[in-house]
Structure 1
């Protein structure tokens, strides 16, 4: 059996299926075998072996008899376990919901299934999707596939692992404050946080309802675009965008920010990426963005108060069933005043306008996704350089807070590895509802590099 999932895009796999070179059973068998081989990484909470195997037989029969369900026909897909799926349990990463059965599929899952996807399992996540490590006390500590002593990030860590190890073609994640982009960066894959509201969050357990998004993680930008097109219901965008002409592209770099406070290997990888783009004719444009000294603090308020409101009754009744880290943050959120929350939301409205202004002279704005590579499991601080350390929490939010608080789309793609072989990601930001600009730039970059092809 060949490694089809590790060497082909979804469209390429579809072509192989339709000409009879491979079967749906080949794809599902390879997926389930890879999941079993990587069990120690704790990428999955549930695996649907029998259902997926049965579906493979049925979907192959459909194809042979001329019934093509769509661009995902027969593709093995995983979904994060805070997304409703009406088969098996949907746990939200919590022991409280260990036996919870969703009444129906989430909207995005319905769209994937309508396009032919076969759901092979539910991925591990930080409890209630509220944390950045995926060290889940109930379903296992997820481990980075490049170094098992490191975190895969979170909260969509299981999805990042599943894609990095080519267990699936794509895995769904959710992103409130970085939970798609962080695992994408630390696990060496591609993922997008769409424009706020561009993908339906119906059937997804909320973290912070005014910030929550859902999006795909994949091994390459082409697959991310295809998955987003299906999830968003934008049938007109199923025709892929062309890679950007770098010689006509204006790339924004935030002055005194994009290159500050980074581990040396991250800074060097980012500079190398910029130099390569410039050598292909891209114009690098310094841009300014006010409010950067306030955005992380404002996000910490919104991203504490809203989850605390969601869990308010449950923590009164079942506090002992929460993991310690999540419970402590929920209790802290309960102590934040209404005035502080309103002030944070007012800042957010102002910040949206500042971010929109930033794009007036550029096509995309780039930052590192993170100032550092994957920290060790259990660490709360990360050394940057010259003995200086930052908290893992604030570091996670340094760059990701800009899209999280403004609602613009942001995609993370790999741009290299550090001296220890750990992946480094860059964040591609585009104006609201212009995911196509992020996709076209990412595809152009991946056309002149091979970082997205590297596997742990």
Structure 2
């Protein structure tokens, strides 16, 4: 049964259709894998009984010829998506005991198409972090950590905030997982764990039922082991939702059909501003290798300029905390979640929020409240929004001369748990290549492209035009083919 966990989504769908195995057998194998990865602390809530029930229903549909596009595929759900009848914590103490009476639109779409829920996976608290170390439930350990569980020589971060999603997909404890990306939280952990992660265009996937961090930046997306699997899962996740005012009413393409393998004539933009000081030589070399791979496949590299890139990180860490301070105001101990009594209403608020939120969440709420306060709104928040507009204009201009943009996913290789943890600014710099994509609302994707000198994965990022995920996926598959990344984490040895 263990070999069933080594399948890709595409292979699993093929095996199910050929009756090589059943959805129940596939799910049982992944339930066993879910139990085996407990040392990684990747799952917050396991739902094996519900998974097997969903698998049995899938087998019944397939027997009647009514199988959906993801029927029988066991996946994990980032614990930021509300799941009806299953606890949703956002990895925060303040949401202890919260069981949603409704289902998020994205997960509802997945269950509609036959996917099977294995459980809810860990993340940085309220998706605030780049290493999955701020969770109330404890940090997630990357399956790429050297050594055996319990005797790791170094405990490596899986990236964040979707670190639990990345870890279970990389460790073969789910065929895929949902993630959310506010400033790189799908792409950076995908790059750190050797898997594929795509953040679709803002508005492509509904945000309804997803616990909000920064509403104008958040976007759901799939995390899988191959580009083809990302295309399969993305199609099911997408779709117009009248319950989300930012959802875009447009047809969802067959992303899998876009994987023609032909990228001849496409122009690949190489932004000169992404050659940052201090970037490791091996990441620079990988980027150059990626350019050569695409050139060999028939694409044309062109140098482009994104001049306002240097302001992106500063603008992001004003806009995102500002929106977070507003979104997280609802957690007051009155309506739902954790409640810590006090002698007055204000004291109740203070006690609840003081005990319920972790340090990183408190830090961002305070930053956000500060930049929105009287006397500072114009100086910080309004100026950041103007910079955001400039960044979007940079991309608009760049796409006049190219079809897709190629960059590294992250400026560093994965680091050990504990490194940089007392330096929030250094931690924020992990997002330097990913945040401009969110500020501009563009689609972005990370594809595994090799291993660093320390044996840890490195990814390449692709950035596309709005609602042109097809080109992104097509070019991503060309990189995937050329890189031929077949390495597996030490955890699986």
| Structure 2 equivalent of residue 338 of structure 1 | 377
Q: Work out whether 1:416 is the aligned partner of 2:450.
A: yes
| Matched residue SS, 2:418 | coil
In structure 2, distance between residues paired with 1:166 and 1:295? 35
Deviation string for 1:368-389 (max 9, x for gaps)? Answer: 010101111122289xxxxxx9
Q: Work out whether 1:33 is the aligned partner of 2:29.
A: no
Structure 2 counterpart of 1:326, from 361, 376, 382: 361
Matches within 5 A, 1:292-331: 292-312=309-329, 314=332, 316=350, 317-331=352-366
Structure 2 counterpart of 1:79, from 58, 62, 77: 77
Q: 1:242 to 1:332 in 2, by over 3 A?
A: closer
| Structure 1 equivalent of residue 484 of structure 2 | 450
Q: Work out whether 1:364 is the aligned partner of 2:404.
A: yes
In structure 1, distance between residues paired with 2:262 and 2:99? 48
Moved more, 235-244 or 153-162: 235-244
Q: Work out whether 1:403 is the aligned partner of 2:401.
A: no
| Structure 2 equivalent of residue 222 of structure 1 | 228
In structure 2, distance between residues paired with 1:59 and 1:94? 33
Q: Work out whether 1:263 is the aligned partner of 2:280.
A: yes
1:259 Cα deviation (Å)?
A: 6.3
Unaligned residue ranges in structure 2 (runs of 5+) = 146-153, 240-250, 333-348
Give aligned pairs, total.
Answer: 448
1:104 Cα deviation (Å)?
A: 0.9
In structure 2, distance between residues paired with 1:141 and 1:184? 17
Q: 1:235 to 1:209 in 2, by over 3 A?
A: closer
In structure 1, distance between residues paired with 2:54 and 2:155? 36
| Structure 1 equivalent of residue 48 of structure 2 | 49
1:241 Cα deviation (Å)?
A: 0.8
In structure 1, distance between residues paired with 2:5 and 2:401? 39
Native 8 Å contact 2:130 2:428 kept in 1: no
Native 8 Å contact 1:250 1:282 kept in 2: yes
Deviation string for 1:52-95 (max 9, x for gaps)? Answer: 1222223223322x142311111101111010100320111111
Native 8 Å contact 2:85 2:101 kept in 1: no
RMSD: 2.0
| Structure 1 equivalent of residue 133 of structure 2 | 135
Q: Work out whether 1:440 is the aligned partner of 2:439.
A: no
In structure 2, distance between residues paired with 1:391 and 1:270? 25
> TM-score scaled by structure 2?
0.87
1:246 Cα deviation (Å)?
A: 3.7
Deviation string for 1:150-195 (max 9, x for gaps)? Answer: 1111111000001101111110011111110111011111011111
Native 8 Å contact 2:388 2:440 kept in 1: yes
Structure 1 counterpart of 2:161, from 155, 166, 174: 155
Native 8 Å contact 2:23 2:73 kept in 1: yes
| Matched residue SS, 2:411 | coil
1:427 Cα deviation (Å)?
A: 0.8
Structure 2 counterpart of 1:231, from 237, 242, 249: 237
1:235 Cα deviation (Å)?
A: 4.8
Matches within 5 A, 1:367-378: 367-378=407-418
